[in-house]
A and B are shown apart, each in its own frame.
Chain A
Amino acid sequence: MRGWFDLSPTLLAALGGIFGLLVAASLVIWALRRAHPEKDYTELVLRTKSWWVMAAIFTAALLVNRVTALVFLGIVSFLALKEYLSIIPTRRADRRVLFFLYLAIPIQYYWVSIGWYGMFIIFVPVYMLLFLPLPMLVIGQTQGFLRAVGTLHWGLMVTVFSLSHAAYALMLPAAPNAIGAWRDPHTGAALMIYLVVLTQLNDVAQFVWGKLLGRRKIIPAISPNKTWEGFLGGVLTTTALSAALGPWLTPIDLKNAAILGALLGVAGFVGDVTVSALKRDLGLKDTSHFLPGHGGVLDRVDSLTYTAPLFLHYVRYFCY
Chain B
Amino acid sequence: MKKLGLYIHIPFCESKCHYCDFYSITKSTSDIKENYIKSLIKELELNKERLDEYKFDTIFIGGGTPSTVDANFYENVLNYLRNNNLISNNAEVTMEVNPKKRGYDYLNKIKEIGVNRLSVGIQTFDNDILKVIGRNHNRKEGQDFLSKVNKVGFQNISCDLIFNLPLQKYEHIEKDIDILEEYNLKHISLYSLKVNTNTIMNDIVKEDKYKLMDEDEERETYYRAREYLEKNGYMQYEISNFSKVGYESQHNLKYWNRMQYLGIGTSAHSFINNKRYSNVSNVNQYINKIMSNESTVNFEEYIDNEEAIWEYLFLGLRKIKGINIKEFEKTFNISFSMYNDKVGKLIEDKLLEIKNNRLRLTRKGIDLSNHVFVELK
Same complex: no
Which residues on B are within 8 Å of A, measured CB to CB?
none
